[in-house]
Amino acid sequence: QLQLQESGPGLVKPSETLSLTCTVSGGSISSSSYYWGWIRQPPGKGLEWIGSIYYSGSTYYNPSLKSRVTISVDTSKNQFSLKLSSVTAADTAVYYCARHDGDIDAFDIWGQGTMVTVSS
């Protein structure tokens, strides 16, 4: 059973860079038809797609965050990562990693999420 697990600091200072990693277990990140994405949810609010990556390294980013986002993949570790620069309090959220199955065009497997707070 494929599982995703987010990891990274739970507290980031304003203006610094938020860094998270998603570890994929129970399957290969290099499988075709799958993209790997980051989605966030501010406290009490809805879901916001941040971006997605294919195992080859091709990326798609939310235009509203594109200038601050970098998503990368490490196939040797079966991981993909998120970097969000120049963070502010507005970036405080639960960050989820998820698998996007291109065959069904949906996010079918999600990690449990990790809370990141931006505060000095």
Chain residues that interact with another protein, rule: CB under 8 A: 37, 39, 46-49, 52, 60-64, 96, 100, 104-108, 110-113
Measured from the CB atom, the residue of 16 and 59 that comes closer to another protein is: 59
76 versus 90: smaller Cβ distance to another protein? 90
Q: How far is the CB of 13 from another protein (least distance, A)?
A: 27
Q: Measured between alpha carbons, how far is residue 59 from residues 21, 26, 35, 56, 107 in Å?
A: 16, 23, 9, 9, 16
Closer to another protein by Cβ: residue 15 or 25:
25
CB of 70 to another protein, least distance (A): 16
Q: For 91, phi and psi rounded to 5 degrees?
A: -90, 0
- Closer residue to another protein (CB): 15 or 64: 64
What's the closest the beta carbon of residue 104 comes to another protein, in angstroms? Answer: 4
